[in-house]
């Protein structure tokens, strides 16, 4: 039976909780405006896309569109 959790999942959950508390603190003390939240989210998305592109190239995949096909192929091979 596979594990119910992984270290990566636990790390993501902790980071999520810290992020929620951080945004609650910012909102409570009026330390950021709505525009700053929007710009922050936009910058995060752009940075994530750039990191994903770098990772895909490092792994040796020619196009990011190949990734879902590879995942489905692997899932089918395990069944």
Report pLDDT digits (tens) over 49-79.
999 888 888 888 877 788 888 888 888 898 7
Q: What pLDDT, in 10s, does the model give residues 10-56? A: 899 999 999 999 989 998 999 999 899 999 999 999 999 999 888 88
Asked if residue 73 belongs to a domain, the reply is yes
User: Is 56 within 8 Å of 64 (Cβ atoms)?
Assistant: yes
Average pLDDT over residues 3-12: 82
Q: Please tell me the total count of domains within the chain.
A: 1
Asked if residue 22 belongs to a domain, the reply is yes
The boundaries of the domain holding residue 56 are: 7-78
Provide the whole-model pTM: 0.58
Asked if residue 28 belongs to a domain, the reply is yes
DSSP 3-state percent helix, strand, coil across the chain (nearest 5): 75, 0, 25
Q: Alpha-carbon distance 49 to 69, whole Å? A: 19
Asked if residue 54 belongs to a domain, the reply is yes
Asked if residue 27 belongs to a domain, the reply is yes
Asked if residue 1 belongs to a domain, the reply is no
User: Is 61 within 8 Å of 67 (Cβ atoms)?
Assistant: yes
């Amino acid at each position: 039976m596979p594990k119910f959790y992984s270290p990566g999942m636990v790390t993501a959950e902790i980071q999520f909780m810290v992020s929620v508390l951080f945004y609650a603190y910012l909102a409570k003390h009026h330390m950021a405006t709505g525009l700053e939240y929007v710009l922050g989210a936009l910058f995060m998305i752009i940075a994530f896309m750039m990191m994903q592109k770098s990772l895909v190239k490092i792994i040796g995949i020619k196009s990011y569109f190949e990734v879902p096909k590879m995942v489905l192929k692997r899932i089918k091979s395990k069944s």
